Amino acid sequence: MASNSAGVPVAVIIALVVFGGIIQLVTVILIIRCVQNMRKWSVDPRVEARKDGNMWSSSTSKEESRIEMQPIEEFLDKILKEKPIRFTSQNLIDFTQNYVEKLGSGGNGTVYKGQFPNGVQIAVKILRGTSSKKAEEQFMAEIGTIGRTYHINLVKLYGFCFEESVKALVYEYMEKGSLDKYLFDQTQRIEWAKLYDIATGTAKGIRYLHEECQKKIVHYDIKPANILLTSDFLPKVADFGLAKLCERNKIKMFPIATGDGRGTPGYAAPEMWLPLPVTDKADVYSFGMLLLEMLGKRKNYDVKQAESQEWFPMWVWHKFEKGELDSITSFSGFEDEEDKKKAEKMCRVALRCIQYKPEARPTMNCVVHMFEGKELIPDVDNPFEYMMSSHGTNSSLWSSIMSTSTTAYTSTSRGTGKDGSEDYQQTQSPKSLTYDVNVKVIAAV
């Protein structure tokens, strides 16, 4: 056996070197594990126990006043879990820097811009008149519906405040505001391709409410002011103050003379104002009216237009019935052939959605498929047949109805749409409004 000059065999030397290396490796591993265990069981250096008891306190009283949940990671973790958080009034003051930036106001409240400690921007809606039963119902509707859902096309509710002096809702902040200003404000325009995507995204959001939630949610107030837009014009359905959770395949009756009609005149389905069953098809009707306003980039009822075009839906139907779709696309300013095809598709879908009988309207899932080209659009029947008489169309009917509705409701919103609402203040008794509308509609049937 070979050996070195001292007579020690080479094999023994190699064995000793290998053994020594193994010992060193094991030692390093043990040291690393000890350090990891020490870090795992050590106390967070930002929080320390008070000497006079077991109460935990933050390093400064300022941090304690800013947010009641410590450490801050727990707060952010709750946000990430999509659960509405109950904030204090002091939280809201801190988030908004004492309400310095006002986004808008309406009959139900005022909206302020704010920011969470981690930099996420928010919209804080401070509710007013919260002692009334109606306001309490709307507050609970918001929490009970949007608070338990999550979809890319639904506005996100971060949390709420419910105290004797302050009741508020905290939403994600939508940079572009509401859709209505891009439709009705001549200084705020949007390209057609984006508008078509907004229509499709809105349809997907409503479909989620109707068909993909554990309990069906009927919104009851789909309109441009309640469609909010992100910085890249992604649409999100907002304002669930009138929404209702429903058991699937169940319907709701609205009495004729109690003023319990829901929604906004001009967008609300006929059955919303009559003693008829009300289902999710009411949202489909409102969506159809929304589509027509997107198509024309104008309000459906506009007294400034020529008499034949005062009520845009009827004008669109007459053109469609005569096969004059080019007149509609020309009116809306479409020149590109691809845009014209999309406009024609939107027109057909809208007329399907505003059918008088709820059962004649498509589901929102069908609407999405029509937009995506996965389903053919069926032939369109006259949605205004119920307004016809033996002498033809009652041309003054809709004008009379809208005049009554406009008198009964006066918009007090600035139209910012940041909070997803366009609130209306009632100036006429709800009973008389419901009766007047019912008499006019029933007379036309």
- Tell me the catalytic residues: 221
CB 423 within 8 A of CB 183: no
The rounded distance, in Å, linking the Cα atoms of 324 and 317 is 10
* Interior/surface letters 51-74, b for 16+ CB within 10 angstroms, e for the rest: eeeeeeebeeeeeeebbeebebee
The rounded distance, in Å, linking the Cα atoms of 198 and 222 is 14
Which residue in the block uniquely carries the two structure tokens 């004729």?
256
Helix (H, G, I), strand (E, B) or coil at 226: helix
Q: Is the peptide bond before 71 cis (omega within 30 degrees of 0)?
A: yes
Dihedral sign for Cα 65, 70, 73, 79, please.
negative
Amino acid at 296: G
- What tokens appear for 12 in the block? 């023994």
Residue 134 is assigned to a ligand binding site:
no
Q: Which residues contact 353 (CB under 8 A, 6 or more apart)?
A: 284, 285, 287, 288, 289, 291, 361, 362, 367
Helix (H, G, I), strand (E, B) or coil at 329: helix
Dihedral sign for Cα 341, 343, 349, 355, please.
negative
Task: Give strand pairing partners of 49.
Answer: 56
Residue numbers in the known binding site for ATP are 125
Residue numbers in the known binding site are 125
